[in-house]
Amino acid sequence: MRKQLATASLLLAATLATKAQTLGTTPARQGIVVKRDKTQPSPRLNPVQERAKRLSDQMARELRLNGYQTTRLRAINEDKVAKMAAIEQRHAGNPAAITEQCDAVCKERDKELQAVLSNDQYSDYYDSRSTFRKYDRDYASRTANVNENFVKSVQNPSPATGGATISPSRTTPPKQGR
């Protein structure tokens, strides 16, 4: 009787442990195929969100922010990067206007970050502002070049370099059937 009770309780504990482990897993991990609702936005980030996320991650690492500060920083950067991206699109041929207006947006970010960061962190941020700005600009220009090159390749496809040409696969006529 005692052995049966011990076996039954052990079996119950193992069943409950297995159930607890599978509760937190996603349906895909359980082997269930879930179709994505195509009316909902894609889980991938748009370029502005990706740019803000990369900048926020870099800032959080260098300034050693806690979870609350990182969350607030991400929200601030998402807003400011969206404004800067709109400015960059609007004034694409005028770098002076872009710099002037983006500097104003960065000053807004400075004021908002002052309320989130400690004095030491804000001091470190203030000293590194130009580094963060350069990091953001480099990423933005890199992604803009990639997008621009992709659009060009789709609009004007050209054969590979090195004298390659597009031609039929055979140079001799096929043999006639016997």
Q: Which has the higher per-residue pLDDT, 103 or 1? A: 103
Q: Which residues contact 67 (CB under 8 A, 6 or more apart)?
A: none
CA-CA-CA-CA torsion for 109, 110, 113, 119, nearest 10 degrees?
170
Q: Which has the higher per-residue pLDDT, 60 or 139? A: 60
The residue ranges of every structural domain in the chain are 47-147
State yes or no: pLDDT of 85 exceeds 80: yes
- Over residues 10-17, the mean pLDDT reads 71
Q: Which has the higher per-residue pLDDT, 177 or 96? A: 96
State yes or no: pLDDT of 4 exceeds 80: yes
State yes or no: pLDDT of 138 exceeds 70: yes
pTM of the entire predicted model: 0.58
Cα angle at 78 between 76 and 82, to 5 degrees?
A: 120
Q: What is the pLDDT of residue 69?
A: 94
Confidence of residue 169 (pLDDT cuts 50, 70, 90): low
Long-range contacts of 29-34 (CB under 8 A, 24+ apart): none
CA gap 87, 81 in Å, rounded: 10
Q: Kind and range of the H or E element at 135?
A: helix 119-155
